[in-house]
């Protein structure tokens, strides 16, 4: 069975304390819903201290709970990728509990961002930011479904600060035409998490075959793109919602934008000034200040 590896690992533990036995029973009885728990919730549900929970996972061979979480996530695999499956697990986990959804979700988001920050490879981050700041390189960005919003934001903001930046929209029938001229001098950013999109995988594979550089932002070191990525930045996507979280990926993208801007010298700033002038010339934004003054003038 899918959970046998984890249960076998637990069964190898010797001389469990009463508290540790409660945790082992809890994991066995709440698989795979345990994917949505953390140290605090396990402590509360089992009635043991947080220190005991941390010690139990240390005995399992995980220095941090996040390491266990990543192990469990890879073991569960596709069982938790579908929104329907995730909804079913969440409902089973929360049966009989009064839910403060706002507090729980914000707490989960904060922990999610903390794990993202702790897991980022600093050297890889700097290298990727410097790659973005190389204006001579054609930079392509792809992300589908939920990840399209992140990819689009990344594209819009990068386009203002560097030339040769392109968004690959696989919904378009001209996608193959956009890929004709890809060479080994180009760079691809692919953003994806479960359920992984086939079109994104095909584009990543093509760039790899053309010997182009590939940077992926995804949720697991064992993602389908791992064999093709020159640099893979792993961001957890687990969430209490039926949908995977995008907040870690968004935080990483915004951090890369800030770093790339600083590495670009005066060029991003000068280009941004040109972009702002064009936005004013085309009257893109709603004149909020003008409207405010008009409202004040109409008051009796």
Query: Which of 67, 99, 131 is the C-terminal boundary of a domain?
Result: 99
pLDDT at 58: 87
- Residue 105 counted as domain residue: no
Same domain, 202 and 249: yes
Environment class of 8 (CB within 10 Å of its CB; exposed 0-12, middle 13-18, buried 19+):
exposed
Same domain, 216 and 250: yes
Same domain, 158 and 71: no
pLDDT at 3: 44
pLDDT at 131: 97
CA gap 234, 147 in Å, rounded: 14
Environment class of 282 (CB within 10 Å of its CB; exposed 0-12, middle 13-18, buried 19+):
exposed
- Residue 42 counted as domain residue: yes
Same domain, 247 and 149: yes
- Give the number of other Cβ atoms within 10 Å of residue 174's Cβ: 8
Task: Count how many domains the chain has.
Answer: 2
| CATH number of the domain encompassing residue 195 | 3.40.50.10490
- Residue 272 counted as domain residue: no
- Look at strands 187-191 and 231-234 and give their pairing: unpaired
- The token duo for 62 is 């995980």
- Residue 51 counted as domain residue: yes
Low-confidence ranges of the chain (pLDDT < 70): 1-5, 7, 31-33, 36, 73-99, 238-242, 288-300
Q: Which residue has the tokens 């600093």?
A: 122
Interhelix angle 50-59/65-76, rounded to 10 degrees, is 60
Give the pLDDT confidence of 264-283 residue by residue, as tens digits.
Answer: 999 999 999 999 999 888 98
Same domain, 248 and 143: yes
Same domain, 175 and 135: yes
Closest by Cα among 97, 109, 145, 133 to 259: 133
Range of the domain at 95: 4-99
pLDDT at 275: 92
CB-based contacts of 275, cutoff 8 Å, min separation 6: 160
Same domain, 57 and 182: no
Same domain, 32 and 131: no
Same domain, 152 and 260: yes
pLDDT at 152: 96
The pTM of this model reads: 0.67
- Residue 234 counted as domain residue: yes
Check: CB of residue 37 under 8 Å from CB of residue 53. Answer: no
Give the pLDDT confidence of 175-225 residue by residue, as tens digits.
Answer: 899 999 999 999 999 999 877 888 999 999 999 999 999 999 998 777 888
- Residue 270 counted as domain residue: no
Q: With H, G, I as helix, E, B as strand and everything else as coil, classify residue 289.
A: helix
Query: Which of 66, 84, 99 is the C-terminal boundary of a domain?
Result: 99
pLDDT at 25: 80
Closest by Cα among 154, 125, 113, 148 to 253: 154
Same domain, 153 and 85: no
CB-based contacts of 283, cutoff 8 Å, min separation 6: none
- Residue 241 counted as domain residue: yes
Same domain, 260 and 126: yes
CB-based contacts of 244, cutoff 8 Å, min separation 6: 146, 193, 194, 219, 237, 238
pLDDT at 137: 95
Same domain, 258 and 154: yes
- Residue 211 counted as domain residue: yes
């Amino acid at each position: 069975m899918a959970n046998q590896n984890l249960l076998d690992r637990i069964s190898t533990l010797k001389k469990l304390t009463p508290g540790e036995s409660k945790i082992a029973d809890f994991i066995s009885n709440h698989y795979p819903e345990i994917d949505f728990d953390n140290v605090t919730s396990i402590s509360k549900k089992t009635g043991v201290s947080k220190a005991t929970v941390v010690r139990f996972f240390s005995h399992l061979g995980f220095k941090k709970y996040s390491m266990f979480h990543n192990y469990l996530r890879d073991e569960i695999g596709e069982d938790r990728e579908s929104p329907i499956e995730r909804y079913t697990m969440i409902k089973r986990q929360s049966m009989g509990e009064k839910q403060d959804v706002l507090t729980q979700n914000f707490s989960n988001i904060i922990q999610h961002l903390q794990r993202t920050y702790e897991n980022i490879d600093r050297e890889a981050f700097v290298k990727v930011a410097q790659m973005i700041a190389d204006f001579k390189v054609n930079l392509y960005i792809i992300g589908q479904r939920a990840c399209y919003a992140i990819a689009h934001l990344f594209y819009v903001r990068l386009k203002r600060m560097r030339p040769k930046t392109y968004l690959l929209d696989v919904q378009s029938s001209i996608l193959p035409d956009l890929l004709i001229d890809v060479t080994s001098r180009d760079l691809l950013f692919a953003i994806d998490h479960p359920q992984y999109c086939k079109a994104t995988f095909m584009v990543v594979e093509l760039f790899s075959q053309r010997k182009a550089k590939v940077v992926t932002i995804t949720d697991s070191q064992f993602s389908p793109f791992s064999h093709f990525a020159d640099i893979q930045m792993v961001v957890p996507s687990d969430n209490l919602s039926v949908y995977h979280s995008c907040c870690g990926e968004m935080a990483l993208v915004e951090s890369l934008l800030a770093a790339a801007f600083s590495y670009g010298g005066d060029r991003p700033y000068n280009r941004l000034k040109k972009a702002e002038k064009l936005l004013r010339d085309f009257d893109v934004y709603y004149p909020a200040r003008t409207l405010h003054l008009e409202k004040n003038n109409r008051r009796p």
